[in-house]
Every structure is written in structure tokens, then in C-alpha cells.
């Protein structure tokens, strides 16, 4: 039987996206286990159930990524809405 | 007949009390737009850039743009231009609020303040009536008290720009505060106002601004308004959290300079972030003149040792007084920020100077005896105390008040100054954002983020995404869509923060019906280039050379930790490519043909003098 292995990652939600997990503190990350070939888009829409259009800047381990990117073990994921300023 | 512009420049001589009005040169306005460009051009006419900055020969020029005060979105800006007391470069500090529009309503495009008064004075401008009045009773007062006293002495609706005690005491980090809390902060422009003994300018204007094609102007204005209010950044995260929305993001990228740039990740960032400000101290938003974005935060710390009220802290302020000093207590950061407002000093330079002193102290180059108390990274009470001492020039604050370049030199560690051309860098690590590295090194007022904030491209993807670590084509990106473009926007009178929703095209679509002059995209690019080159020529004449286009050695060393550990600022080969793209020689001097192309050929002799 084919069994998908699960990997652990952490996720942070910032600015307006915090409304999707209001119990999280500012910049607090949550650990979750996901199947090891999960993409960022699947993580967002299927697992976290956050509409993809709400996210403009996905960051994995400090680098901005595309939503098609697959997750690896221990990835630190952070999602941001459209941002600007300075 | 002028449209958009008022057509009049007010000249006030504080040495002999002479007040006169001059006509704006239309060709000059067309070539240099207004605001930053026009005021810089006027400055070049007034002085030889080699003069002492803190001298009566150095005029203080307040400039507005042709759009300032027109009522189109975010048309709130004015600039202060002079030879910079802190850096010796050309200075152009920019501020919003309501003061700039009021200058236009009173009938002026620019004010040129020259000479020096023997006694404290303020300037009272009521439309065409202009008076120099004694200000002895105002000397020593904070901006909020100055404003309320002056509104009693002049007109209840007068708009005020003034210096705080920092400017009076000639702190080289002092700025000019308007409308209570806004500040034209950088480069030490407040010290020049203090040197002139000019405490304040009170303006009451009751006139309007003539528009060349009113109907077309308001159509363009409505279009711009719709673009701004429909934009997910301008009307989303930026409006909701202001500039501080970036704190956690930049830190997450490992690009948030910490402890005098020793590292790029701050463990206490969340505590001093926009989200924390919103939850803990935010009272409400505030807008500048005609601005739908209203990014400004009115905040209050209600009780405890750091009790206070004011605006901000903004992104750069929360960083300089927070992460850069290793301080993660939001109330202390807010208090230090309020104090900077009270004393009228620049939060970035103030925080950076304290951070530099902290490193000098921890390394043993500075002793507790000299400072008066231990000044360790992370000591929030000591940080707040140091801000007060800078504002008062009290004790060791007297030395800190002249900025981190002079501090680091004085104590034998020039390498601990984290800036370029004597101006401290801001809150985007040049080890990570290669565009910012080149921008900090080449910016005409020294290491500054608002002369070309390439983070827009290197992170948000405006105008298009270029990953921060990529080097290819960064020279052109820094030059044109950032440095030249910003020079144009700063000259128009519109706030730079509209850039997430609009481009030059929308600004030109306002400028043309406002002024009756044909502004278009292609010309705006040349205008930006012309302004940048004029500023560069000023600096060359003031004695700067290519050797000054450099960054502190520390940021060329690998970042020690965080998600971007190992990344470093890479400048060397890029400078030559950048010079070439700019039409400059290998020494970073505009070539005669470049100057001719931009109509700046009067500056040829400056180039030749350096041969
Ligand atoms: S965007 Fe912010 S700083 Fe700019 S004009 Fe509007 S309120 Fe003022």
C-alpha cells in the first residue's frame, strides 16, 4: 500500500490574514503536519482554507516564493497580504 | 498668468529685515517641475555649494509643487532645501500635513529665507502681508506649545512650521516640525533654521489656486482617487497599519538591521510591529491634506513611565529606536518617538546615533563615566534617557546631538558609523536588498530610503518583481524607476506613498490641466534625471567624489544569522555600470554631453575644476 509521508512545517499569518486564525498572537507560528508534496497553494486553500487572492507575498525560510512551490520538512512559511510602505 | 503655480517666490532676509517678492521663472518651472527640483535649482542660483552649511549665506528654501494644495489626492507635500548641516550634501527634506498647501493659498510657490537674525523671530505670512516678529517667548518651547501660542498670536487657523529645542540648540539631527507632528526630518535642516534664530513660520492663506483646465483636472483627480481607493495596498494593509505593517515582513526576510547593523533579524520585532501598535497604543488614523489613504497613526501610551501622546512611531522610527538599539518595549519606543517630536529631531539619526553609542560602550571605547550611565543594547530606559539628553544637549547628549558619523570618528571607530555621506541608513538591510545597497551608496543626500525605495520592486513587485539578491539590471532599476522617478514625484507636490496605486502617467494627467504646461511620461523621466544630476553636481562642487559613494565595511561582510545568513552587500562592479548608465565618467561625474542633454551645461566648469 502506498502511504504518503507527512512533514512538519510552521506557518505564520500577518496583518489582515490574522483574522483567519484569531487565536494566534502577533507573529506566532503554528506547527502543522502536511503531506510531503503539498504546494503552498494547497496549504492555503485546502488546509488553511484561506482564499489565495488574499495572499500576495508568500515567504518560505525568508525568501519570497511562488504558490506552486512544494513544501519541505521544517519549512517556515509566512503569508502576507498585498503590502507596501516605508 | 500662472496656473497650478502661484507664480510668486517670497524672499525674506533675516539680517536686514528686507522682504521682497519675485516672479517665478516659467522656464525653470518647466525644467525642474517644482518642490524638490525647483527648490534645488533655486539653491544653486543662491550659493556656491562650497560655503559652510551653518552660515548666514546658506538659505533655507521652502518649496511647494504645482500640485501642492490643489485638492487632488495626497497633494500635501512641501520640501525644505539647503546645504545640509549634517552632511554637507544638498538637503531636501519633505513633509506632509497642511503647511505646504497653506503656503500656496497665501500665494507663494517657494519661500527663500536668507541671512540670520540676532534675536529669535518668527515669520507671519497672511496672504500678501509678511512680517518678521519677535519670538523670544516661544524660544525653548516644544512644537505643540509653539503652535498653540502662535495661533493665538496670529490667526486660529494659521498653519505652523517650527523648530523644537533640538533645532534651537543646533543639533545636526534636528528637523522642521509642521502641524504639530509632521517633520521634515533628515539632514539637519532644523539646525539651519535654529542658526537663523527663526523659531517658526506661521502662514494663513485665503486665496485659491488657479487651474488651467478645471474640468479636465477634476476628471483626472477622480480617476486617481478611484485608483487609490481601489488599490489593495494603499487602501488595505497600508491604510490599516501604516508604514509599520512592514516590521514583521522585513524581519521575516532577515533584512531588519539590528543592534547597529550587527545582524539582520530582531527577536523582539513582533513587540514593536504595526500589529502591536494597532492593538496596544493606536487611537485613530489621521490624514494629510486631501489624502484618502490617511496612513498616519495617532497613538497614546496611557500610563506608566513612558506615558505620552503623539503620532507614530512610523516604520523607520520604530526600527531605529527599537531593533537598531536592541529595544523591544513598544511603550519605550513610542515614548522615545514622542520625545523626538517634542525636540524636533530626526528619529532615524537619533536611534542610529544611540545604537552607535551602545556599540562603542559595549566595546569599551566609551565609558560609563563619560555617558553618565551604562548604555547597553536593549536597555530601554537608557535609550529613552539618551533621547532626552540629545534634545536638551545635556551632558553626553551634547556629543550625541551631532549624529553617529561624528560620534564614531570622535571615539576612534569610524567603521561603526552605519551610513553613507554622514547620513545614517534606514530599516532595509543592504546585505539583503542589493538595490538598496546601490541606492544608499549613491543617494544624493546620503544613505536614505526615500530617494529610491527599491524594496517596492525587490519585495512587493512594483513596478515589477526583481528578487532582492539578484544583481543583474539593478543599476538601471535604481537609476530610472526609483531615483529619477522619485525626484519627479517629490517635485510634483504629491505624496510618494501614492506610488503603489499610480504612476507618472496619472501624475502627468493632473499636472497638465493644473498648469497648462505639457507634462507627459517621457518628459517626466528627463525631468527626474535632470533633478538627480543637478543634485549630483551640487555635491561634486561641495567636494564629494566617487570615493564617497560607499557603504560601511560591515555590510559587505556576510550577515551572521537569520534566514539570509551569509548574504552581503555587493557594490564594487555595480558602481561603474551605474555611472555609465547615468552618462557619468569613471569618477562619477556627469560628462559634458550628459549635462548638455539635460540643459545643465552651466555646470561644465564644475566638472572641469575637478579634473
Ligand atoms: S499617504 Fe500618508 S503621508 Fe502621504 S499624504 Fe497620505 S496620510 Fe500623508
pLDDT digits (tens, 9 = 90+) for B452-464: 999 999 999 989 9
Per-residue pLDDT of B66-83, as tens digits, reads: 999 999 999 999 999 999
CB B213 within 8 A of CB B171: no
Residue A70 lies in a domain: yes
Tell which residue, B408, B317, B394, has the closest CA to residue B361.
Answer: B408
Buried residues in B185-203 as b, exposed as e (16+ CB within 10 A) = bbbbbbbbbbbbbbbbbbb
Please check the confidence at residue A2 and state whether its pLDDT lies above 80: no
Buried residues in B533-569 as b, exposed as e (16+ CB within 10 A) = bbbbbbbbbbebebebbbbbebbbeebeebbbeebbb
- Cα(B196)–Cα(B113) distance, rounded to whole angstroms? 9
What was the pLDDT predicted at B602?
A: 81
Q: Which CATH architecture has domain B8-204?
A: 4-Layer Sandwich (3.60)
Distance B496 CA to ligand 1 centre (A): 8
CB B497 within 8 A of CB B231: no
What was the pLDDT predicted at A1?
A: 53
Q: Provide the H-helix boundaries in B245-329.
A: 247-252, 274-280, 315-320
- Containing domain of residue A12, as a range? 6-80
* A63 close contact with B: CB closer than 8 A: yes
Please check the confidence at residue A3 and state whether its pLDDT lies above 70: no
- Cα(B476)–Cα(B470) distance, rounded to whole angstroms? 13
Please list every residue in chain B whose beta carbon sits closer than 8 Å to the beta carbon of residue A26: 248, 270-271, 273, 275-276, 279
Residue with cell 545604537: B355
Arithmetic mean of pLDDT, B286-305: 96
What was the pLDDT predicted at B404?
A: 98
Residue A64 lies in a domain: yes
Out of A14, A76, A85, name the one closest to residue B248 (CB). Answer: A14
Under the banding of pLDDT at 50, 70 and 90, the label for residue B237 is confident
Distance B333 CA to ligand 1 centre (A): 22
Per-residue pLDDT of B536-552, as tens digits, reads: 999 999 999 999 999 99
Number of other CB atoms surrounding residue B380 within 10 Å: 22
Residue A39 lies in a domain: yes
ipTM of the assembly?
Answer: 0.92
Under the banding of pLDDT at 50, 70 and 90, the label for residue B490 is very high
In the A/B pair of chains, how many CB contacts fall below 8 A? Answer: 103
Per-residue pLDDT of B575-601, as tens digits, reads: 999 999 999 999 999 999 999 999 998
Atom of ligand 1 nearest to the CA of B496: 4
Higher-scoring residue by pLDDT: B389, B240:
B389
The segment(s) of chain B belonging to CATH 3.60.9.10 are 8-204
Atom of ligand 1 nearest to the CA of B74: 5
Instruction: Give the CATH number, domain containing residue A63.
Output: 3.10.20.30
What angle is formed at CA B56 by the lines to CA B50 and CA B58, rounded to 5 degrees?
A: 45
Per-residue pLDDT of A38-81, as tens digits, reads: 999 999 999 999 999 999 999 999 999 999 999 999 999 999 99
Residue A10 lies in a domain: yes
Class of domain B424-608: mainly alpha
Atom of ligand 1 nearest to the CA of B96: 8
Arithmetic mean of pLDDT, B22-28: 97
The DSSP output letter for B427 is S
The segment(s) of chain B belonging to CATH 1.10.599.10 are 424-608
Report CB contact under 8 Å: B245, A63: no
Distance B352 CA to ligand 1 centre (A): 25
Arithmetic mean of pLDDT, B25-40: 97
Residue A44 lies in a domain: yes
Please check the confidence at residue B249 and state whether its pLDDT lies above 90: yes
Closest CA in chain B for residue A56: B460
Query: Which CATH fold topology does B238-417 show?
Result: 1.10.569
What was the pLDDT predicted at B607?
A: 58
| Domain count of the fold of chain A | 1
Residue A1 lies in a domain: no
Report CB contact under 8 Å: A63, B253: yes
Stretch (H or E) spanning B337: helix B330-343
CB B422 within 8 A of CB B405: yes
Measured CA to CA in angstroms, residue B102 lies from B37, B176, B364 at distances of: 20, 16, 51
Out of B246, B253, B276, name the one closest to residue A59 (CB). Answer: B253
Per-residue pLDDT of B362-412, as tens digits, reads: 999 999 999 999 999 999 999 999 999 999 999 999 999 999 999 999 999
Per-residue pLDDT of B94-113, as tens digits, reads: 999 999 999 999 999 999 99
Report CB contact under 8 Å: A59, B248: no
For the sheet containing A6-13, what is the strand order? A30-35, A6-13, A76-80, A57-60, A63-64
The segment(s) of chain B belonging to CATH 1.10.569.10 are 238-417
Amino acid at each position: 500500500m502506498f502511504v504518503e509521508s507527512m512533514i512538519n512545517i510552521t506557518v505564520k499569518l500577518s496583518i489582515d490574514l490574522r483574522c483567519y486564525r484569531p487565536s494566534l498572537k502577533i507573529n506566532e507560528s503554528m506547527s502543522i503536519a502536511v503531506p510531503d508534496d503539498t504546494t503552498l497553494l494547497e496549504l492555503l486553500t485546502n488546509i488553511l482554507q484561506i482564499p489565495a487572492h488574499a495572499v500576495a507575498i508568500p515567504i518560505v525560510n525568508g525568501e519570497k516564493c511562488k504558490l506552486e512551490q512544494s513544501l519541505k520538512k521544517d519549512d517556515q512559511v509566512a503569508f502576507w497580504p498585498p503590502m507596501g510602505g516605508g | 498668468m500662472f496656473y497650478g503655480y502661484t507664480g510668486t517666490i517670497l524672499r525674506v532676509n533675516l539680517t536686514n529685515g528686507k522682504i521682497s517678492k519675485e516672479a517665478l521663472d516659467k522656464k525653470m518651472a518647466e525644467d525642474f517641475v517644482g518642490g524638490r527640483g525647483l527648490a534645488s535649482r533655486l539653491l544653486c542660483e543662491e550659493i556656491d555649494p562650497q560655503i559652510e552649511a551653518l552660515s548666514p549665506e546658506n538659505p533655507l528654501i521652502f518649496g511647494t509643487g504645482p500640485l501642492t494644495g490643489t485638492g487632488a489626492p495626497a497633494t500635501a507635500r512641501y520640501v525644505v532645501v539647503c546645504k545640509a548641516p549634517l552632511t554637507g550634501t544638498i538637503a531636501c527634506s519633505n513633509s506632509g500635513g497642511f503647511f505646504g498647501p497653506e503656503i500656496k493659498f497665501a500665494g507663494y510657490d517657494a519661500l527663500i529665507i536668507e541671512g540670520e537674525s540676532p534675536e529669535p523671530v518668527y515669520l507671519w505670512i497672511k496672504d500678501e502681508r509678511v512680517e518678521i516678529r519677535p519670538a523670544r517667548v516661544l524660544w525653548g518651547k516644544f512644537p505643540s506649545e509653539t503652535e498653540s501660542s502662535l495661533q493665538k498670536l496670529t490667526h486660529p487657523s494659521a498653519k505652523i512650521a517650527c523648530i523644537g529645542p533640538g533645532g534651537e540648540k543646533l543639533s545636526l539631527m534636528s528637523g522642521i516640525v509642521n502641524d504639530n507632528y509632521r517633520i521634515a526630518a533628515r539632514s539637519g535642516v532644523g539646525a539651519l533654521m535654529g542658526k537663523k534664530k527663526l523659531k517658526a513660520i506661521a502662514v494663513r492663506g485665503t486665496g485659491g489656486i488657479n487651474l488651467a483646465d478645471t474640468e479636465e483636472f477634476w476628471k483626472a483627480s477622480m480617476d486617481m482617487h478611484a485608483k487609490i481607493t481601489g488599490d489593495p495596498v494603499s487602501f488595505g494593509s497600508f491604510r490599516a497599519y501604516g508604514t509599520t505593517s512592514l516590521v514583521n515582513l522585513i524581519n521575516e526576510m532577515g533584512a531588519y538591521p539590528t543592534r547597529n547593523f550587527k545582524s539582520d533579524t530582531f527577536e523582539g520585532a513582533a513587540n514593536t510591529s504595526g500589529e502591536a501598535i494597532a492593538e496596544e497604543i493606536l487611537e485613530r488614523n489621521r490624514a494629510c491634506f486631501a489624502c484618502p489613504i490617511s496612513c498616519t497613526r495617532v497613538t497614546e501610551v496611557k500610563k506608566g513611565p513612558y506615558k505620552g501622546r503623539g503620532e507614530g512611531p512610523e516604520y523607520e522610527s520604530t526600527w531605529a529606536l527599537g531593533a537598531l538599539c536592541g529595544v523591544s518595549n513598544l511603550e519605550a519606543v513610542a515614548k522615545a518617538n514622542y520625545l523626538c517630536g517634542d525636540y524636533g529631531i530626526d528619529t532615524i539619526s537619533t536611534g542610529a546615533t544611540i545604537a552607535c553609542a551602545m556599540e562603542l560602550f559595549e566595546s569599551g571605547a566609551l565609558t560609563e563615566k563619560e555617558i553618565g550611565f551604562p548604555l547597553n543594547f536593549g536597555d530601554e530606559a537608557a535609550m529613552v534617557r539618551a533621547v532626552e539628553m540629545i534634545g536638551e544637549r545635556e551632558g553626553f547628549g551634547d556629543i550625541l546631538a551631532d549624529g553617529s558619523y561624528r560620534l564614531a570618528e570622535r571615539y576612534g571607530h569610524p567603521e561603526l558609523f552605519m551610513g553613507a555621506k554622514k547620513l545614517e541608513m534606514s530599516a532595509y538591510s543592504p546585505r539583503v536588498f542589493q538595490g538598496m545597497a546601490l541606492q544608499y551608496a549613491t543617494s544624493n543626500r546620503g544613505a536614505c530610503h526615500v530617494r529610491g525605495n527599491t524594496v517596492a520592486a525587490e519585495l512587493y513587485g512594483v513596478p515589477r518583481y526583481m528578487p532582492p539578491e539578484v544583481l543583474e539590471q539593478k543599476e538601471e532599476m535604481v537609476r530610472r524607476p526609483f531615483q529619477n522617478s522619485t525626484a519627479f514625484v517629490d517635485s510634483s507636490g504629491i505624496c510618494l506613498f501614492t506610488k503603489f496605486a499610480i504612476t507618472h502617467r496619472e501624475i502627468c494627467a493632473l499636472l497638465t490641466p493644473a498648469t497648462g504646461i505639457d507634462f507627459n511620461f517621457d518628459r517626466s523621466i528627463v525631468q527626474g534625471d535632470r533633478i538627480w544630476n543637478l543634485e549630483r553636481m551640487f555635491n561634486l562642487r561641495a567636494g564629494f567624489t566617487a570615493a564617497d559613494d560607499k557603504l560601511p565595511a560591515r555590510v559587505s561582510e556576510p550577515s551572521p544569522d537569520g534566514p539570509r545568513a551569509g548574504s552581503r552587500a555587493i557594490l564594487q562592479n555595480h558602481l561603474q555600470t551605474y555611472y555609465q548608465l547615468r552618462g557619468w565618467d569613471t569618477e562619477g561625474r556627469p560628462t559634458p554631453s550628459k549635462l548638455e542633454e539635460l540643459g545643465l551645461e552651466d555646470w561644465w566648469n564644475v566638472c572641469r575644476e575637478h579634473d
